[in-house]
């Protein structure tokens, strides 16, 4: 091998930048960036309805506990009828279900927004990159940043 071809090979190897892998905890700024891409309003609505669901779950358990601890005199409740207690228990259960459903709707909608807001600029920049970028960046590194491995395996 001539010295010229060895030098060209070393230059080609130097063109490919070494990859950096971070380790440890995820930086809180990453979470903030995701929630910002998700939409702060959708994130806050998700949190609010999730907290509402948790409160309704605890409230339903407390209501059932209070109902079971109630003393019965002559076969009837002292404070409320069983029908009224069952109705309130059912309403709390319906409220719990609605809060959980809405929390999931806002979470899924926010996740779709976040994926669009994070990946569309990445794809646009990748498609508008100069050819030198593709010469210096291994194809596996590009696919690792842009594609899902399981989806790529399905295409084959």
pLDDT of residue 19 exceeding 80, the answer is no
- When the pLDDT of each residue in the chain is averaged and rounded to a whole number, the result is 81
Q: State residue 68's pLDDT score.
A: 82
Q: Record the pTM.
A: 0.69
Average pLDDT over every residue of 132-136: 78
- Residue spans of the domains in the chain: they are 38-155
Q: State residue 143's pLDDT score.
A: 72
Q: How far apart are CA 47 and CA 107, in angstroms?
A: 9
What's the 3-state SS for the chain? CCHHHHHHHHHHHHHCCCCCCCCCCCCHHHHHHHHHHHCHHHHHHHHHHHHHHHHHHHHHHHHHHHHHHCCEECCEECCCCHHHHHHHHHHHHHHHHHHHHHHHHHHHHHHHHHHHHHHHHHHHHHHCCCHHHHHHCCHHHHHHHHCCHHHHHHHC
pLDDT in tens, 78-131: 677 888 889 999 999 999 999 999 999 999 999 999 988 988 888 888 888 888
Strand partners, 73: 76
Q: State residue 109's pLDDT score.
A: 95
Average pLDDT over every residue of 2-6: 58
Question: 40-70: b or e for each residue (b if 16 or more CB lie within 10 Å)?
Answer: eebbebbeebbebbeebbebbeebeeebeee
**More confident position, 149 or 101:** 101
pLDDT in tens, 22-77: 677 888 898 899 899 999 999 999 999 999 999 999 999 999 988 888 766 666 66
Where is mean pLDDT largest: 15-19, 88-92, 131-135, 136-140?
A: 88-92
Distances (CA, A) of 73 to 35, 64, 68, 78, 94: 55, 19, 14, 7, 30
């Amino acid at each position: 091998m001539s010295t010229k071809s060895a030098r060209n090979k070393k230059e080609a190897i130097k063109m490919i930048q070494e990859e950096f892998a971070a380790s440890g905890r995820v930086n809180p700024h990453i979470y903030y960036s995701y929630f910002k891409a998700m939409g702060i309003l959708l994130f806050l609505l998700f949190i609010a309805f999730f907290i509402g669901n948790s409160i309704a779950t605890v409230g339903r358990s407390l209501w059932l506990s209070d109902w079971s601890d109630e003393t019965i005199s002559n076969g009837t409740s002292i404070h409320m009828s069983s029908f009224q207690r069952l109705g309130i228990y059912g309403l709390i259960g319906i409220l719990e279900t609605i809060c959980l459903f809405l929390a999931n709707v806002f979470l899924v909608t926010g996740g779709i927004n976040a994926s669009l807001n994070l990946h569309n600029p990445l794809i646009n920049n990748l498609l508008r990159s100069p050819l030198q970028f593709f010469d210096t960046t291994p194809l596996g590194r590009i696919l690792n940043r842009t594609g899902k491995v399981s989806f790529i395996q399905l295409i084959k």
